A and B are shown apart, each in its own frame.
Chain A
Amino acid sequence: MNISKRKLIQGSLYSGVIAIFGKITLLQSAFAEWPTAAFDETEYEPALKGLIGDETLNEGGVTIDAPGIAENGATVPVKVSTDLDNVEWISILGDKNPRPWISRFYFHGKSKPFVSTRIKLRESSNIVAIVKADGKLYTSKSAVKVTSGGCV
Chain B
Amino acid sequence: MADEMKVRAKLKDGITTVKAIMYHPMESGSRKDKETGELIPAHFIKEVKAELNGEMIISAEWGTGISKNPYWSFEFEGGKAGDTVKISWTDNLDESGEGEAVIK
CB distance from B8 to the nearest CB of A (A): 13
Residues A117 and B70 in contact in the complex (CB < 8 Å), given A107-B58, A112-B75: yes
Number of B residues near A (Cβ < 8 Å) is 32
Most chain A CB within a 10 A radius of its CB, from B55, B76, B77: B76
**A111 to B77 Cα, complex, angstroms:** 6
CB distance from A63 to the nearest CB of B (A): 14
CB distance from B2 to the nearest CB of A (A): 23
Q: In the bound complex, do residue B64 and residue A110 qualify as a contact, i.e. CB atoms below 8 Å apart?
A: no
Number of A residues near B (Cβ < 8 Å) is 38
Q: Which of the residues B50, B57, B65, B75 comes within 8 Å of A101, measured between beta carbons?
A: B65
**A111 to B49 Cα, complex, angstroms:** 12
Q: In the bound complex, do residue A34 and residue B76 qualify as a contact, i.e. CB atoms below 8 Å apart?
A: no
The dominant DSSP class at the B interface is strand
CB distance from B48 to the nearest CB of A (A): 9
B interface residue numbers (CB < 8 A to A): 15, 28, 30-31, 46-47, 49-50, 52, 55-68, 70-78
Q: In the bound complex, do residue A97 and residue B65 qualify as a contact, i.e. CB atoms below 8 Å apart?
A: yes
Pull 16 A–B residue pairs with CB atoms less than 8 Å apart, ordered by A: A34-B61, A74-B67, A75-B67, A98-B30, A105-B60, A106-B58, A107-B58, A108-B58, A110-B77, A110-B78, A111-B76, A115-B72, A115-B74, A118-B70, A118-B71, A120-B64
